Structure 1
Amino acid sequence: MTPKTFFADLDGESVGDTALRRIRSDIIRGQLRPNERLKLDGLRTAYGVSVTTLREILNRLVVEGFVVAEGQRGFEVAPVSEADLRDICELRLLLECHALRRAVQLGTLDWEAHVVSAHHKLQSVEAKLIGGAPSSVEQWVQFDWDFHHATVSACDMPALMATHSNVFDRYLRYHLQALDFRGKPAADEHRKLRDLVIARDADQAVALLTSHVRAGMEHILATGRFT
């Protein structure tokens, strides 16, 4: 599974695949706002695909939880709410904790190196944010995904991993709309999680991941943007 890419086009994509990824990304990043009506004529111009292709894309995004179909009224961007974030958080934990146990059991030396490398990039951005240097919270969100994905990437269950990727996208949507970094506690937890994963301590890693994700959720909710 490839890392999240919010900006650049990917080689080998069809026009429809590119439009799907761009629309999903624009919803996750808040360029298309919650509850916004998705008018086909405007989308056709903005994303360069036919109305037929757009309908297929939007119906797929309905299944993924990013778009709501309003019967004869068409499509709208899915709303956001505290209840929805809490639901997504628990689903993420259900999937990610199981994937983490499998990864710890099956991971190779290359997997360990991948975890360390992903954490190094994340730690670099976190240090800048903590130190008050100009840095992008959106970039931190990208590297946060890269690190958490690295920790579970040795899991041998493709269906679980695909579902986890979708749920993580929905979680990222809240992160990117809040755009607020939790600071040193989050950075410390990432470092400890790296160490526990490399030490193959699945029980402690899962316990830390659980508290880490829930603390992040509460931090997002504390911004007051989703009540």
Structure 2
Amino acid sequence: MTSSLSLQEKPIASIGDSVLQQIRFDIVRGRLQPRQRLRLERLRETYGASVTTLREILNRLVAEGLVVAEGQRGFEVAPVCIAELRELAEMRIMLESHALRRSLSEGSLEWEAGVVSAHHMLQSVEHGLIGGDSGAIETWVRYDWNFHRATVAACDMPALMATHANIFERYLRYHLLALDFRGAAVAKDHERLRDLVIARQTDATLVLLEAHIRAGMEHIIRAGRIPA
């Protein structure tokens, strides 16, 4: 998986933007571990950006909740804990449910086709994982994002979509730290969600979405890799 995991989907306009995307990806992927000190000189050697640019990038990632500023001591990767995971799950339910409700009301035939296409790709990876291809978990996480993003793509609220992307990205960080696939149950959820979305069954879709997110959160917690 490449740095396309970054969920903001903004065009790369400069070296600074490219480095921002790469550091964000490395945090979400776990290559930069929770609470790891982010020393500017070492980052300069790794990412090839100036100290001034890196400081600006890290301050932006502080605003996104992926980095913590330590005052005079510098920066570190934001810690993880079960309490934050639960909060992110609740935020995701709130934002995604609202965006999904609007998409179900306003979505076009082209939007439906996008949902079906995104699910087809996700389903292919899920079948591989169910068959024992454990190395595809990172790809599954990316396609899971693509599918859920497709379902809400017709909401026509850019600020909501940007906030949702940030919360989803932070939530996916926990998935990638756990590196554990939920199995046939999650694949069945996605298939049912696709069908309910295409049928525009709003109430049933929102009930399933909330149950799906909560089940995923509990699965991450049971994996035992997130501190209390």
TM over 0.5: yes
What residue number does 1:170 align with?
170
Contact 2:12 / 2:18 at 8 angstroms: preserved in 1? Answer: no
Question: Deviations 1:186-221 (Å, cap 9, x if unpaired)?
Answer: 000000000000001111111000000000000000
In 1, distance between residues paired with 2:45 and 2:224?
35
Shift of 1:13: 3.0
Alignment of 1:203-222 (within 5 A): 203-222=203-222
Q: Does 1:161 align with 2:166?
A: no
2:80: which partner in 1? 80
* 1:105-134 deviation digits (Å, cap 9, x = unpaired): 010000000000000000011111112246
RMSD: 1.5
- Equivalence for 1:6: 5
**Runs (5+) with no aligned partner, structure 1:** none
**Where does residue 106 of structure 1 map in the other structure?**
106
Higher mean alpha-carbon deviation, 133-142 vs 74-83, is at 133-142
The answer to whether 1:44 aligns with 2:38 is no
Query: CA separation in 1, counterparts of 2:57 and 2:194?
Result: 37
Can you list the C-alpha shifts for 1:74-131, whole angstroms capped at 9, x where unaligned? 0000000000100010001110000000000010000000000000000011111112
The one-letter amino acid paired with 2:70 is: E
Match status 1:92 vs 2:92: yes
Tell whether the 8 Å contact from 1:128 to 1:135 is kept in structure 2 after alignment.
Answer: no
Q: Deviations over 1:163-197 (max 9, x none)?
A: 00000000010011111100000000000000000
Structure 2 letter corresponding to 1:46: T
**Is the 8 Å Cα contact of residues 64 and 166 (structure 1) preserved in structure 2?**
yes
TM-score of the superposition, structure 2-length normalised? Answer: 0.95
User: How far 1:12 sits from its partner (Å)?
Assistant: 4.6
Q: Which residue of 2 aligns with 1:131?
A: 131
Give the match's secondary structure for 2:163: helix
The percentage of aligned residue pairs carrying the same residue is 63
Q: How many residues align?
A: 223
Q: How far, CA to CA, are the matches of 2:201 and 2:168 in structure 1? A: 23
2:71 maps to what in 1? 71
Secondary structure at 1:34 match in 2: coil
User: Normalising to structure 1: TM-score of the pair?
Assistant: 0.95
Letter in 2 for 1:106: E
Q: Counterpart in 2 of 1:30? A: 30
Q: Distance in 2 between matches of 1:94 and 1:12?
A: 30
Q: Report how far residue 43 of structure 1 moved.
A: 0.4
